[in-house]
């Protein structure tokens, strides 16, 4: 009898431990699941915090899908980078080619030979996803659409976009059939992160209603969230029968920015709901913590042949660290400055950057700029600086 009782107790203990083991295993599996349980209609989706690049939520993020007019994010990026390099200007006037004017789908109905500035063409691309404007920009930047497509794929490679390939500047399906543009939600988030490094883009993407041709051509943003979601200020919509409804969006609230991507949603409203759902989750998880105020001095840079030999490097705007609301700890601030800059220097000229990290991960960055103008020194001023330096060294050696 005693043996029977002992056997039952041991059996109960063994089965109990096995049951507990199954529960623990289930809990561990659930803890390792990536992201929250968000209901997303689209085939593929990504939510990114851009200062760190962290993916907060994803649904089949690396699935190759046609992007439709989301393609134009690369057109926008290449144009903005060319402007920054001084290769083109916003005021440059472009004459529309017959090929650009033959583009179908969304367009601003360019006429062959019609002239329009780079700024207006970018406005048309950003607000109404104009295919003719996109084609015209590509021709202006590279001489032909074929050359520009080469640049698009080259830049995609530089950004590490392995699932992305472009065959045209518009996102339309090829006329003769075959494989069109392909990408993934994750890679469109990476591309969007690069685009928003050029804040001038928000001049167009954040606009709900605008016009061209002295008010004769009406423009209304294809991204409804610009009007209906607080803080949304971009970025690019897309639709074809094959691609479905796509949207790469960005929004900022209380210093926190999010990028959300959805591909192949079933309707316009469902893609807006998908993006809103991801945004609401992202903003509930993150908060901006102020690290520097506008005008704070971050260091000094030597000036070569300047009327002043050193110059303060300042923070141009409030600098915040973007952290999860429950994170506690020290934010590390690393200042990187040019060793020396040549006069003349303009106030606001970029002369360095400050990078914020938390537990080794980036959580914010900002350029550092010159606090004031420094003119080039004349011959006698330079000799005066040299004599003062020699005299200072001599005095110092006697002490």
Q: How confident is the model at residue 393 (pLDDT cuts 50, 70, 90)?
A: low
pLDDT in tens, 124-139: 999 999 999 999 999 9
| Mean pLDDT of all residues belonging to the chain | 89
Q: What angle do CA 358, 361, 367 make, to 5 degrees?
A: 85
pTM, rounded to two decimals: 0.82
By mean pLDDT, which of 26-30, 55-59, 186-190, 375-379 is the weakest?
A: 26-30
361, two tokens: 């991960």
By mean pLDDT, which of 13-22, 146-155, 268-277, 364-373 is the weakest?
A: 13-22
pLDDT of residue 20: 33
Helices H / strands E in the chain, number of each: 11, 17
User: Strands, E, within the chain: which ranges?
Assistant: 44-49, 54-59, 93-95, 115-117, 209-212, 217-220, 232-240, 244-253, 256-265, 286-292, 297-304, 310-314, 319-324, 332-337, 340-342, 350-358, 361-370
pLDDT in tens, 339-372: 999 999 999 999 999 999 999 889 999 999 999 9
In angstroms, rounded to a whole number, what is the distance separating the alpha carbons of residues 54 and 362?
9
Whole-number Cα distances in Å, 36 to 126, 257, 265, 285: 31, 19, 19, 11
Alpha helices in 114-221 (DSSP H): 118-128, 131-142, 145-158, 185-195, 202-205
Mean pLDDT of 159-166: 98
**Cβ 353 vs Cβ 329: under 8 Å:** no
In angstroms, rounded to a whole number, what is the distance separating the alpha carbons of residues 364 and 358?
9
**Is the sign of the CA dihedral 107, 108, 114, 116 positive or negative?**
negative
- H or E segment to which residue 226 belongs: helix 225-228
In angstroms, rounded to a whole number, what is the distance separating the alpha carbons of residues 328 and 189?
27
Contacts of 200 (CB under 8 A, 6+ apart): 80, 83
Residue written as token pair 């102020």: 290
Count Cβ atoms below 10 Å from residue 209 Cβ, excluding itself. 11
In angstroms, rounded to a whole number, what is the distance separating the alpha carbons of residues 65 and 244?
10
Domains and CATH numbers, the chain: 44-286 (3.40.710.10), 293-393 (2.60.410.10)
Mean pLDDT of 159-164: 98
pLDDT of residue 177: 79
Mean pLDDT of 138-153: 97
> So which residues are the catalytic ones?
69, 72, 129
**Cβ 118 vs Cβ 89: under 8 Å:** yes
- Helix 72-84 vs helix 118-128: crossing angle, to nearest 10: 150
> CA neighbours within 13 Å on the CB side: how many for 288?
18
pLDDT in tens, 316-344: 999 999 999 888 789 999 999 999 999 99
pLDDT of residue 52: 87
């Amino acid at each position: 009898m005693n043996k029977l009782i002992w056997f039952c107790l041991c059996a109960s203990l063994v089965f109990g431990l096995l049951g507990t083991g199954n529960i623990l295993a289930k809990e561990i599996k659930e803890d390792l699941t990536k992201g929250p349980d968000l209901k997303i209609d689209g085939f593929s989706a990504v939510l990114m915090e851009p200062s760190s690049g962290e993916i907060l939520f994803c649904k089949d993020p690396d699935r190759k899908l046609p992007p439709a007019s989301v393609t134009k994010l690369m057109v926008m990026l290449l144009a903005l980078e060319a402007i920054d390099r001084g290769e083109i200007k916003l005021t440059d006037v472009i004459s529309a080619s017959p090929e650009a004017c033959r583009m179908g789908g969304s367009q601003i109905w360019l006429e062959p030979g019609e002239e329009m500035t780079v700024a207006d063409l970018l406005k048309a691309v950003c607000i109404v996803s104009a295919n003719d404007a996109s084609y015209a920009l590509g021709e202006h930047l590279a001489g032909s659409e074929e050359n520009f497509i080469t640049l698009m794929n080259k830049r995609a490679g530089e950004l590490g976009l392995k699932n992305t390939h472009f065959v045209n500047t518009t996102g339309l399906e090829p006329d003769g059939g075959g494989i069109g543009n392909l990408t993934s939600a994750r890679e469109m988030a990476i591309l969007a992160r690069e685009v928003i490094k050029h804040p001038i883009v928000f001049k167009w993407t954040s606009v709900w209603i605008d016009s061209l041709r002295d008010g004769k051509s009406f423009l209304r943003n294809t991204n409804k969230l610009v009007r209906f979601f607080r803080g949304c200020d971009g970025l690019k919509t897309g639709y074809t029968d094959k691609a479905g409804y796509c949207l790469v969006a960005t929004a900022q609230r209380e210093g926190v920015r999010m990028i959300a991507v959805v591909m192949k949603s079933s309707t316009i409203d469902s893609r807006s709901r998908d993006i809103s759902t991801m945004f609401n989750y992202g903003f509930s998880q993150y908060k901006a913590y102020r690290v520097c105020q506008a005008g704070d001095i971050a260091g000094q840079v030597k000036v070569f042949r300047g009327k002043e030999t050193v110059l303060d490097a300042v923070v141009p705007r409030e600098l915040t660290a973007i952290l999860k609301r429950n994170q506690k700890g020290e934010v590390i601030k690393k200042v990187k400055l040019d060793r020396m800059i040549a006069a003349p220097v303009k106030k606001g000229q970029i002369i360095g950057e400050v990078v914020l990290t938390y537990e080794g991960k980036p959580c914010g960055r900002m350029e550092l700029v010159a606090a004031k103008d420094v003119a080039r020194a004349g011959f006698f001023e330079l000799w005066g600086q040299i004599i003062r330096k020699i005299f200072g060294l001599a005095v110092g050696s006697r002490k």
